[in-house]
Amino acid sequence: MDSSKKMVIYQVFTRLFGNRTWNNVNGGTLAQNGCGKMNDFTDRALKEIRQLGATHIWYTGIIAHATQTDYTAYGIPKNHPAVVKGKAGSPYAIRDYYDVDPDLATDVAHRMKEFEDLVKRSHRNKLEVIIDFVPNHVAREYHSIAAPEGVEDLGASDDKSVAFRPENNFYYIPGTQLAGGVDLWDAEQGAYVENPARATGNNRFDAYPNVNDWYETVKLNYGVDYVGNTGCHFSPVPDTWKKMRDILLFWASKGIDGFRCDMAEMVPCEFWGWAIPQVKEKFPELIFIAEVYNPAEYRNYIFNGKFDYLYDKVGLYDTLRGVVCGYTSATAITGCWQAVNDIQGHMLNFLENHDEQRIASDFFAGDARKALPALVVSACMNTNPMMVYFGQELGERGMDCEGFSGQDGRTTIFDYWTVDSLRRWDNDGHFNTGLLTPEECELRAYYLHVLNLCRREKALAEGQFFDLMYVNTDNWAMNAHRQYAFLRKSKKEVLLVVVNFDAAEAHISLNLPQHAFEYFEMAPQEKCKAKDLMTGKAETLSFTWEHPVALDLPGYGAKILKIKC
């Protein structure tokens, strides 16, 4: 769909995107606080997201999940509030793998049709569609009312008298009722009763989860005996494997372009290596993104699990966060790409997502501008995908106290709420800058420029990379702890990228190694004409290993100098 090889993913929390309620109530209901709908993603909205530089849009929270909102009028069973987090519920507590969440529909009875129309509308606006696949756990009251005829429900044939059986879909604690540090009582519905109790989603194999656990979920059984320690039972193929593969095929048939797989490393890699090739046999262009946090497992999930992309969280994200906040040296960035150099193309870069605190929050940088150099590094350092979280480009602070979520620097995933910066950008469906502050407009323009630049410039989208820090770490004319520099090259063009993590302007002299010229097969140029792609201004510089390059860097900014070589 897109000629550029560089992917830019725009993650959007679907329930919150189009909500225009001005005065939200802490812990408010759907009736009080409102809810965004799939139909709020109009052609105008999608066009603006595309113009931001996005090639893909990740609609977070599409599949039906547990909620405290009553949809029994539509034949949807009511959930017990004791096992639902927040009034809206977590989108990762799936209650029906074959259904669209009713909160997102204008006409609840036709919610699947609205989703199918959303996919078509996204494609019409040249955006490929990614949705969540949640494989590790489901809501405690999981029951599918929308599954195709002949599909057996999860747990329907389980032997509940044993803790583990390879053919079971769940893990059980026989003879024990669910209890623990969670209040299971509701004044209207009485007590929530689960007997025998099932293992909780975050690998609690007892009946006593507490409020810090994923108590609203139960873990799925992929054939690994965590309780009896009898190992892995993958032959014959476990029933859960087959059911989950069929769910992937169901959603792939809706015309989507990819899955972001939640907590993929909590599911055995063998399942992915079995399922993904089968799905891709029918849908070869489909992409799979894994939420994996253990670097020791990266190559396993890529080469054996067959994933296309993995989160680069504990490497690049954590490092850039430290540099932005001032407690990590910019020299540490070099170690990030070195650690994944052989799989760099498979790593997904980001500075925000629904799990992480907002850059502008008091818990992170307190000012979105401080992360602009990190944006340039994430987006421009290599050819791998880049992701932004809705509102990141506006400096959304995430400092509301929404209800269950609390004030934690994140945008809530549990509550009905309005994201203030998004509501003002929405501007009653106009999607313009009319209600944005000058600072928000400036920030958005910066994001738009960088995200389009990293796709448009061949050297950034497809070119080679060369880190310059090894000849500048001890450079007295450059603060290697607060500045970072690298080269990108494609054919006869080379880009010199230098970022400044300090608030103050920096006047530096940057060393270029002879090896870079040999590696890229470039001739040195004593008086070189360059264009700064960040400003459009022309500069003359010495592009040679014999003399340092003199540069003036803006505070919290970058230069990307384009040179013909």
At residue 68, the 3 state secondary structure works out as: coil
At residue 362, the 3 state secondary structure works out as: coil
CA nearest to 126, candidates 61, 43, 195 = 43
CA nearest to 67, candidates 413, 389, 407 = 413
Residue reference for tokens 């450059």: 478
- Phi, psi (degrees; rounded to nearest 5) at 260: -100, 115
Q: How many residues does the chain have?
A: 565
Q: How confident is the model at residue 4 (pLDDT cuts 50, 70, 90)?
A: low
Region 39-68 average pLDDT: 98
Lowest mean pLDDT among 4-8, 95-99, 141-145: 4-8
- Has residue 3 got a pLDDT over 60? no
- Has residue 1 got a pLDDT over 50? no
- For 383-424, what is the HEC assignment? CCCEEEECCHHHCCCCCCCCCCCCCCCCCCCCCCCCCHHHHH
Cα 371 from Cα 443, distance rounded (Å): 11
- Phi, psi (degrees; rounded to nearest 5) at 46: -65, -35
- % of the chain residues with pLDDT over 70: 99
- Please calculate the CA angle 499-502-506 and round it to the nearest 5 degrees: 70
Cα 199 versus chain centre, distance: 27
Lookup: tokens for 193: 């009763």
What pLDDT score does 565 carry?
87
- Has residue 197 got a pLDDT over 50? yes
Pair 538, 416: CB distance under 8 Å? no
**Amino acid at position 27, single letter:** G
Cα 263 from Cα 283, distance rounded (Å): 23
Lookup: tokens for 259: 């899955």
Q: What is the pLDDT of residues 246-282, one digit of tens each?
A: 999 999 999 999 999 999 999 999 999 999 999 999 9
Region 35-47 average pLDDT: 98
Pair 11, 60: CB distance under 8 Å? yes
Cα 126 from Cα 261, distance rounded (Å): 23
Pair 271, 244: CB distance under 8 Å? yes
At residue 299, the 3 state secondary structure works out as: helix
Residues 6+ apart with CB under 8 A from 200: 137, 209, 213, 214, 215, 217, 218, 219
Instruction: Provide the pairing of β-strand 538-543 with 525-532.
Output: antiparallel
Q: What is the pLDDT of residues 133-181, one digit of tens each?
A: 999 999 999 999 999 999 999 999 999 999 999 999 999 999 999 998 9
C-alpha distances in angstroms, 206 versus 83, 176, 203, 243, 307?
Answer: 16, 9, 9, 25, 32
Residue reference for tokens 């509030």: 81
Pair 508, 478: CB distance under 8 Å? yes
Lookup: tokens for 530: 């360059």
**Predicted TM-score (pTM) above 0.95:** yes
Cα 403 from Cα 88, distance rounded (Å): 10
Where residue 102 falls (left for φ over 0; alpha for ψ -120 to 50; beta otherwise) is alpha
Cα 400 from Cα 497, distance rounded (Å): 36
As a whole number, the mean pLDDT across the chain is 97
Region 191-211 average pLDDT: 98
- Has residue 563 got a pLDDT over 50? yes
Cα 538 from Cα 533, distance rounded (Å): 9
What pLDDT score does 500 carry?
98
C-alpha distances in angstroms, 110 versus 70, 115, 182, 193, 321?
Answer: 17, 9, 36, 32, 43
Rg (CA), the chain: 25
Pair 88, 66: CB distance under 8 Å? no
CA nearest to 468, candidates 529, 515, 502 = 515
- % of the chain residues with pLDDT over 90: 99
Cα 20 from Cα 426, distance rounded (Å): 8
Region 335-358 average pLDDT: 98
**Amino acid at position 247, single letter:** I
